[in-house]
Structure 1
């Protein structure tokens, strides 16, 4: 069985399991004692069904004001979306049918680090303090590519078949289209084609 490794939190996902959100299994190379107990982020908007599964595979429904911690796997269902503000003020907007895993977030000066694993779907990122202080230390990882900072506002998608091509001119996040002239870079990771960059 082929295994894909998402480096920023030591997350291993089988290529078969990554398509089955309900059977998604996460492995963290951290003990419970090492894991941060403080909220790494806060849900500032949730529409539809938005859930999080922690490192011990306990699931919870997320609503406005809910906390997000390192190691959480956040999922949006069909016709659902969420906006999360991380502790460094990075803002994450999750498209419907999206799964992300929250990696390390450290805002201590000189030790800044931020990492998000995009497992499926689409994610808009507006970077905060980490991206401003140390942009090389903020990454969005996918099963086939690691994306470094290309600006303060960028979009990452994982597409099956030609989904990205069908959505060439705009991305819908919670009913709001991000115009093709919006700032930032869209990183389209197509499962059947090499990774490529183009304007959102």
Structure 2
């Protein structure tokens, strides 16, 4: 009988318990691996023995039952090179691990919780040599990297948390689009992936949105802000936060190339200092405003001061052209603050340039065929409705990251699962390959820890083990 680790920890009142004696067994159990990394409160127990706390470099024996508690995990390196990461709230047994036999066998059991496995030499030598039993199916693999999770209500709760967080990170959606428009999240650095946008596509803080020639996109933000990105333009959503717990509402954009048409939302109306659009010539502030901006050329002209009004009005000089059709805007640069009110038009040739108020709409703006954002009638609340909560049936979920595994039920039914596939095993005798990874399986920090350098002890949200030596 195994003593639950949670009971042991409560009974002792502290986790640094390494000095306690361990009951001796009739024969010394075989050492089959060691702990390469441990976080939180984890323990192992031999049948009929006393539980022992698992710290870094602790030995693992045949017959060990390993248990982890809330927000705790342990990484085990087996002697044949296999690696197993045991998630929080898991119960896992090493029933057999015989690498020296003619037909080496390893039999492990996941009673509850989850783990990730990287197979080693034993599984490579004997295709059926490594077996992980669960209450719902047995998993066999020769050379593979895969994770297992026995799900009850916990996975449903995690799914909801992941979906809620994902929905909160969406700052805008595309409500009208023509041609080729893409987005790339600059926060991802070199790993950023370009996304082709379509009607309804989400946008995120730190996204850089780029339109090609003869293309545009109208985006609506959570606070009601509406921006039409014009053809051949690039707009960065530098920072955006609205009604996020612990964060002030603010919106900061950056127009690097091309033009846009904007209608401010609640952020700009409530706190004008919390809204800005950076451009090469200065920062645009607003006061309950609808306006057009157009960067011609590089948006900066070295000769603007020596140019006449007619040439500028004809749009023949590089610089920032603007037109206010609602409220007023303020352009700030090294020359101070320059105010434009409806229906004024302006031009600034550089960060050190003054404001030219143009007598009529600049020639660069009348041909603007992209939709003015105030003509859009999208209902903001409907754009950001929480998706219906996906149900997670209780059962075993298998996610194969590399290689292939076989699932077996009752020594009869078999299911082969390949790289990047996800499978489900339930009761009674139900197995299937799923169309996609479940939300609770994505970005699991505990399983990702097994893929990192074990010396990295600064995993966000995972408590340190004060017993680590």
Q: Provide the C-alpha distance between the structure 2 equivalents of 1:164 and 1:56, rounded to a whole number of angstroms.
A: 35
Instruction: State the alpha-carbon separation in 2 of the partners of residues 144 and 167 from structure 1.
Output: 21
CA pair 135-150 structure 1, distance change in 2 beyond 3 A? closer
Q: Which residue of 2 aligns with 1:66?
A: 58
The alignment status of 1:78 with 2:70, answered yes or no, reads: yes
The alpha-carbon deviation at position 103 of structure 1 amounts to 1.3
Unaligned runs of 5+ in 2: 8-24, 163-398, 403-418, 438-469
**Structure 2 partner of 1:102:** 94
Q: Which residue of 2 aligns with 1:149?
A: 141
- Shift, 1:82, TM fit: 0.5
Residue 131 of structure 2 aligns to a residue in which SS?
Answer: strand
Matched residue pairs, number?
164
The aligned residue for residue 430 of structure 2 is 194
- Residues 29-48 of structure 1 aligned to structure 2 (within 5 Å): 37-48=29-40
CA distance in 2, matches of 1:39, 1:186: 33
Q: Distance in 2 between matches of 1:188 and 1:124?
A: 16
How far is 1:191 from its partner?
A: 6.8
TM-score of the superposed pair, with normalisation by structure 1: 0.69
Deviation readout 1:26-71 (Å, 9 max, x if unpaired): xxxxxx66x6623111000000001011112310000001011111
Q: Residues 145, 193 of structure 1: CA spacing in aligned structure 2 closer, same or farther, 3 A cutoff?
A: closer
Equivalent residue number for residue 125 of structure 2: 133
Q: 1:189 to 1:37 in 2, by over 3 A?
A: same
1:182 is the counterpart of 2:401:
yes
Residue deviations 1:53-94, cap 9 Å, x none? 111231000000101111110011100011001121110001
Q: How many angstroms apart in 2 are the aligned matches of 1:74 and 1:155?
A: 17
Look up the match of 2:80: 88
Shift in Å, 1:144: 2.2
Structure 1 portions without partners, runs of 5+: 1-12, 24-31, 171-179
Q: Distance in 1 between matches of 2:64 and 2:36?
A: 16
CA contact (8 A) 1:161 1:191 kept: no
CA separation of 1:58 and 1:129: change in aligned 2, threshold 3 A: same
Q: Please report how far the alpha carbon of residue 115 of structure 1 lies from its aligned counterpart in structure 2 after TM superposition.
A: 1.3
- Which residue in the other structure is 1:6 paired with? none
Structure 2 counterparts to residues 20-31 of structure 1, below 5 A: none
Shift of 1:194: 3.4
**Shift of residue 152, structure 1, vs aligned partner:** 1.5
Which SS does the other structure have where 1:78 is aligned? Answer: coil
Change (3 A) 1:38 1:151: closer
What is the rounded CA distance, in whole Å, between the counterparts of 1:181 and 1:41 in structure 2?
Answer: 24
The counterpart of 1:118, out of the listed 87, 100, 110, is 110
CA-CA distance at 1:165 after TM superposition: 9.4
Is the Cα contact below 8 Å between 1:157 and 1:189 reproduced in 2? Answer: no
Instruction: Calculate the aligned-residue CA RMSD, in Å.
Output: 3.3
Partner of 2:466: none
CA contact (8 A) 2:145 2:400 kept: no
TM-score, scaled to structure 2: 0.31
